[in-house]
Amino acid sequence: MASRTPDPVETLLKSGPRRTTLPEPAQRARLRTDYGLSQAEVAEALGVARNTVAGWESGRSEPQGATRAAYAKLLEGMAAQLAPRPEAVPPTRTAHTGQEPPAPSTTPQPTPARPATSRRRPAAHDGPRAKTASRATATAPADRRLDSRARTAPRETAAAPADPRFADGPLVVLDGDGTAYGVGGIVLDCPATDLPALVDWALWEAKLGAPRLHRHGKDADPLIVLTDRAADRLGLPLVLEDRRGLRLPDDHPAVRGLARAEWQLTRRGFGPWARIYRPAREGRRQCVQLAVLPWGALDTRAWGNADQLEAPELAQVLGDYATRVITPRGSAAVCGLELMTALRPPTRPVKDAATGTWASGPNSGALTQAVDPAPPEAPDEHPVVASLYPRGHRRTAAEVLDEEAYEWIRDPELLTDTECARQFAVGVDVNMAFAAAANRLTLGLGAPVHVKAPVFDKTVPGSWLVDLSHIDFDPRLPNPFTPHGARPEGPAWYATPTVAYAAELGHDVTPIEAHVRPESGPYLDAWYTRLRDAYLAVMERLGVVSGMSEADFLAAMEHHKDADPAQAAVLSAIKATVKGGIGKLRERPQGSGYRPGQRWPSLERPTWRPDIRAAVISAARINMHRKMLKLADGAGLFPIAVLSDCAVYLSDGPGPLDFLPRTPDGKPLPGGFRLGVSPGMVKHEGTQSMMWAAQMLDEGHNPARHIKGADAAAFGE
């Protein structure tokens, strides 16, 4: 009798499920904690890193293959041992009747249906999609979207948004199989295979976006981040050939497809950060932001290797940034500038008393319109400069405002015998120096007013032509009035914080002329507060908290970026947002077709304000000098090099605690550098040998630039 050929389908079914189902991430952490194990112990047993286990328990990543099976076995074993014995559980009785409740039904219950307002677009090709659980975040295949949205992750950003319009969070990372990963473990199915369909899905089906940061502002538009596979699925090339313009040509099929669907692109075109929009409809914005990862949307100088993360983990990283700072809209510099506008919108609704109608009016305390700078505040390319000087003219200090960060080294001939006997060169770096300088800084809001022979007023923001060359400092300190640290040679233009410091030191200040801004206010206060809170929250998650002892702080800072690489990427982006946002206030012209004297697009926005940039940098440099002067006067300590917010001192020991002075009761010297995590406090930047530092000085190099062992400026420091 012929043997029966096995049914291939039955063979597969008898082999059992090959994808091991795991408990929800929060349950995994509870099981481990209740069992008394640490993440390190679990990691050692499974042969992985502790950070990997932390990622499994937060829902940022998932184990695969044999590791997944071993992890499931461990969790199942812990759950079995922690489960109460049946005889120890008293029977539960229903209220009032005293009878035992009926046994639970073994009949499968239907999965709750999604609300009638599902965002899935009905389409002939959009049938049920049997996605495997390997693309989800440890959820069962049945109705993953509902299950993912219902779970509670330990991250603060996973909490359900208060605004139901944005129930799916501010953004998603779209993968090549149509899976869109959101914040807090949300997983959506995106059926779109072209850009117009993707925009429609983002606006009308997915509940993406974020509420405004100011009551007169605008809600954040949905952000769709495209992986390389998603870009290929949507018909986009994986390499952007136009590296100068950073945009697709207008005749590319993807761009033509958007035009046929009556979608528009901004003046920057379709590049790494593409904004696709239509005019508002029924009072609702129709705008979607795309970030194309294979085109370099996430700059490594700001985001590190975040673009190499798996899609779910990248969604959480970008979501953390969006929740704490702002939904990304471009580079970190663009985000820094957009955050200023989001927190202080230029306009607000104003009611006409006569007609009762509402119109747009200026918002008090904001930058409400674009204004031209005073001639000394403008860069060389600006039309106001071109109209005053012949082309190629090199402006002197009496013709241009030169408020820049420190770049100074001490003359090696000024090293004392005592300093040469020390073994180490130790660098300390100010945390969030430019953000701290912006805090409570009064800034001009309107156009400059030219004044001859004014009386200096430290409360009035502006630019002042004044001679400070008569003020003398110890040559072992950089001069506070120039970025290169040398004494000024005569009258020069300074921002208000610099002139105020000269007056604070008791010197005569008699301006020759000034460009002042009578309309003023603390424009960047809210910007500083939001970035400070974001910075401190991320540092806390990296194990560095306010109130730590100095020794504990230094120990925590040694490895804080290794504690959670994903959060380290968020931290890097926050720092880049601060520096980039300040720098963007004086954005220079771009493109080979520009000619000096022409206007460029940035000049037409209210936030093109080189005077504000100058004031912030001036305040940061003065804050730095004030602390160095306190150490020099109070302890006889002088730096050998300064680069922006990093100062290098010679020390008998390898750490900051070996040279930072103390009061007789053991506290840090008041007014000097203080170790700590808060903006304005300092951290250990790096240590090298004294001989290394001396050689750097002899060769004319800045030890502060290389104290970490690499070029600090190359890594965004």
485: helix, strand or coil: coil
Residues 182 and 306 in one domain: yes
Is residue 425, in this structure, part of any structural domain at all? no
Residues 177 and 299 in one domain: yes
Round to whole Å and give the CA distance between 327 and 321.
Answer: 7
Q: Which residue has the tokens 């180490």?
A: 424
pLDDT computed for residue 154 by the predictor: 35
Q: Which residue has the tokens 């950089």?
A: 478
Q: Which residues on neighbouring strands pair with residue 173, listed in sequence order? A: 181, 225
Is residue 267, in this structure, part of any structural domain at all? yes
- In 3D space, the residue among 388, 382, 513 whose CA is nearest the CA of residue 450 turns out to be 513
Phi, psi of 658 (to 5 degrees): -80, -15
Residues 166 and 306 in one domain: yes
pLDDT computed for residue 89 by the predictor: 39
pTM for the structure as a whole: 0.78
- Residues of the chain with pLDDT below 70 are 1-20, 51, 60, 84-162, 592, 710-717
Looking at residue 520, the DSSP 8-state letter turns out to be E
Residues 169 and 296 in one domain: yes
Please answer whether residues 401 and 496 qualify as being in contact, where contact means their C-beta atoms are separated by less than 8 angstroms.
Answer: no
Residues 61 and 167 in one domain: no
Residues 201 and 301 in one domain: yes
pLDDT by residue (tens digit) across 161-196? 468 899 999 999 999 999 999 999 999 999 999 999
Phi, psi of 623 (to 5 degrees): -60, -40
Is residue 300, in this structure, part of any structural domain at all? yes
Is residue 168, in this structure, part of any structural domain at all? yes
Residues spanned by the domain of 43: 16-80
Across the chain, how many H-helices and E-strands are there? 23, 20
Q: What's the burial of 470, exposed, middle or buried (CB within 10 Å: 0-12/13-18/19+)?
A: exposed
Residue 450, number of CB atoms within 10 A of its CB: 12
Q: What's the burial of 657, exposed, middle or buried (CB within 10 Å: 0-12/13-18/19+)?
A: middle
Q: Which residues on neighbouring strands pair with residue 466, listed in sequence order? A: 492
Q: Residue 556 CA to chain centroid, in angstroms?
A: 21
Residues 180 and 273 in one domain: yes
pLDDT computed for residue 120 by the predictor: 37
Residues 36 and 178 in one domain: no
Is residue 643, in this structure, part of any structural domain at all? no
Residues 206 and 70 in one domain: no
Last residue of a domain, one of 24, 56, 80: 80
pLDDT computed for residue 420 by the predictor: 96
Last residue of a domain, one of 45, 80, 115: 80
CATH of the domain at 40: 1.10.260.40
Round to whole Å and give the CA distance between 547 and 556.
Answer: 13
Is residue 219, in this structure, part of any structural domain at all? yes
Q: Which residues on neighbouring strands pair with residue 43, listed in sequence order? A: none
Please answer whether residues 431 and 553 qualify as being in contact, where contact means their C-beta atoms are separated by less than 8 angstroms.
Answer: no
Longest Cα separation, the chain: 116
Is residue 26, in this structure, part of any structural domain at all? yes
Last residue of a domain, one of 283, 299, 318: 318
Residues 172 and 299 in one domain: yes
Round to whole Å and give the CA distance between 464 and 645.
Answer: 24
Residues 60 and 168 in one domain: no
Round to whole Å and give the CA distance between 427 and 706.
Answer: 10
Please provide the distance, in angstroms rounded to a whole number, between the alpha carbons at the two ends of the chain.
81
Residues 304 and 165 in one domain: yes
Is residue 173, in this structure, part of any structural domain at all? yes
Q: How many domains does the chain have?
A: 2
Round to whole Å and give the CA distance between 606 and 602.
Answer: 9
Q: Which helix (H) or strand (E) holds 570?
A: helix 565-584
Give the CA distances from residue 360 to residues 338, 347, 349, 350, 351, in Å, rounded to whole numbers and listed in that order: 20, 6, 5, 6, 9
pLDDT computed for residue 460 by the predictor: 98
Radius of gyration of the chain (CA): 30
pLDDT computed for residue 139 by the predictor: 36
pLDDT by residue (tens digit) across 604-649? 999 999 999 999 999 999 999 999 999 999 999 999 999 999 999 9
